[in-house]
Amino acid sequence: MTLRRRLVLSIVALVVAVSAVIGAGSIIALFSIQRAAIDEQLSFATTRAQRSVEQQGPGGPGLEIGRPSGQSAGTLTVYFLNGNAVVGSVLDNAGDVDRLTASAVRPLGDLTVDGDAHTVDLGDDLGRYRVTAVPLGPAVLVVGLPMTPVYESVWKLFAVVLVVTVLALLVAIALAAVVVRRSLRPLERVAETASSVARMPLERSDALDGVRVPDTDPRTEVGRVGAAFNRMLGHIAGAMQARERSEQKVRQFVADASHELRTPLASVRGYAELTRRMGADLPQDVVYAMSRIESESKRMTSMVEDLLLLARLDEGREIQFADVDLTGLVLDAVNDAHAASPDHVIAVDLPEEPVEVTGDAARLHQVIVNLVTNARTHTPEGTRITVGIARVPGGVDLTVRDDGQGIDPEFLPKLFERFARADSSRSRSAGSTGLGLAIVDAVVQAHGGSVEVASVPGDTVFTVHLPATRSVGPIERPVTGADPTV
């Protein structure tokens, strides 16, 4: 149940409880007041009845005992002698005296003669009466007044209380809903701000700029919560800015270091190559050492170039958009891969017409080469590698599939991280730098696309989704060594 509903129900329950208490108190008070008034009238009626009996003389009272001056309609008078009712009468609304029936007189014979008022039920004809029994010589005189007016007043008041309670309940529901809605509006704004922050991709330091709770009045509970929430957002934004500055420094360092390393690496490589070409005048082991220096300098130069490319991609550079023939890039990459790895079966799965996308041709070619190289490097000889293109709604899917041993499921979440390698070997001949797939991910994201991988033993698929595709005219290119039938 929501807080708003709980508050409304609590207010309504409080109104109902207060109305019930007030109504019950009013009814009890009315009943007590009117019964006290009846008892006072009964006292006067008893005095008048006593005088009437005394005026009857020694012959005993008759029906006129119930007609003394001042008696109200409904006044009951019974004269008991030796425990037997001698006369029992009741005064009707017309002022006439009617004789009581035996069934009405019978409950009055058990009354305690103490002069106090008692409530007695005299049956359906007369109903409840307030009666008193007083001694009168050897006899007992019972006088009573009807309680019907009292009960009618109580029931009328009960109906009024019920109607008023229902009306108050309806008004309370409406007012409580309005008041609670207005009172909780600041809290709802806090909740909406928190929800919007929870949905935000907090990757940039300016993501939280302008996202604040407007209710910060320190005199209210919600205002204090809003102020605390804004301070927390400020701390988060500050931490994000500090992280971004730190990452920027690291990127700048990598870019600067990579840029500065290119020249000495080129010199090392050049001198090593020059020395190796003078091998006729050098010992064989020196020639071999120079060849290894040249080889490793090439590897190091490649890694430096990759680091520099990643740094530039992080800064939003290195991407020059133009119309690119994606089909031609795939065919070129497959031809190169087939020449570099003749022991793998490398095939293509392309549409009938070439596919063109908007992007950077050099970088997209690097994506394809890196994915194919990754498949060749981490699968045994004889593995089938298929590079395909498929048009999908909103873009183009480029897939690289192999039927190798698959990728460890525990390694999949960090597959596109920099320097992430599925094996623990750091040997350049056994493994890679761990930057190839990171470059793939960075280039694809720079193109506004996405890259995914699904792998089970015998079927590993890398899927690159590129947006904004379109078809162009047929372009004929030879595919050396590739299997176009897949």
Give per-residue pLDDT as tens, 293-308: 877 777 777 777 777 7
Reported confidence tier of residue 477, pLDDT bands at 50, 70, 90: very low
Q: Are 93 and 84 in contact (CB under 8 A)?
A: no
DSSP class of residue 343? T
Q: Check residue 465 and give its pLDDT.
A: 92
Percent of the chain with pLDDT over 90: 8
| Out of 95-109, 295-309, 349-363, 381-395, least confident range | 295-309
Please name which of 312, 292, 310 lies closest in space to residue 300, comparing C-alpha atoms. Answer: 292
Contacts of 214 (CB under 8 A, 6+ apart): 189, 226
Q: Identify the sign of the CA torsion 280, 286, 292, 297.
A: negative
Residue 423 reports pLDDT greater than 60: no
CA distances from 448 to 57, 280, 316 (A): 123, 54, 12
Average pLDDT over residues 138-146: 88
- Reported as a single tens digit per residue, the pLDDT across 166-208 is 888 888 888 888 888 887 788 878 888 788 877 777 777 677 7
Closest to 460 measured CA to CA, from 389, 409, 405, 381: 405
Q: Read off the pLDDT of residues 21-49 as tens digits, 9 standing for 90 and up.
A: 998 999 999 999 999 999 999 898 888 88
The set of residues, in sequence order, having a beta carbon less than 8 Å from that of 341 and lying 6+ positions away, is 376
Q: Residue 75 burial (CB < 10 Å; 0-12/13-18/19+)?
A: buried
Task: List the one residue out of 331, 293, 291 whose CA is nearest residue 484.
Answer: 331
Q: Where are the beta strands (DSSP E) in 137-253?
A: 139-146
Can you give the pLDDT at residue 226?
A: 81
Adjacency order of strands within the sheet including 117-121: 97-99, 84-91, 76-81, 139-146, 128-136, 117-121
Contact 348, 330 (CB under 8 A): yes
**How far apart (Å, rounded) are the C-alpha atoms in residues 458 and 454?**
11
DSSP string across 129-152: EEEEEEEETTEEEEEEEESHHHHH
Average pLDDT value for residue range 58-74:
68
422 has pLDDT over 70: no
Q: What local confidence, expressed as pLDDT, does residue 476 receive?
A: 42
- Of 70-84, 111-125, 230-244, 260-274, which range is least confident? 260-274
Long-range pairs, 26-30, Cβ under 8 A, ≥24: 26/157, 26/161, 27/154, 27/157, 27/158, 27/161, 30/153, 30/154, 30/157
Mean pLDDT of 97-113: 83
**Cβ proximity of 65 and 77 under 8 Å:** yes
Q: What is the mean pLDDT of the chain?
A: 80
Backbone angles phi, psi at 367, to 5 degrees: -60, -50
With tokens 């089970």, the residue in question is 456
Check residue 36 and give its pLDDT: 92
pTM score, two decimals?
A: 0.48
Mean pLDDT, residues 94-98 taken together:
79
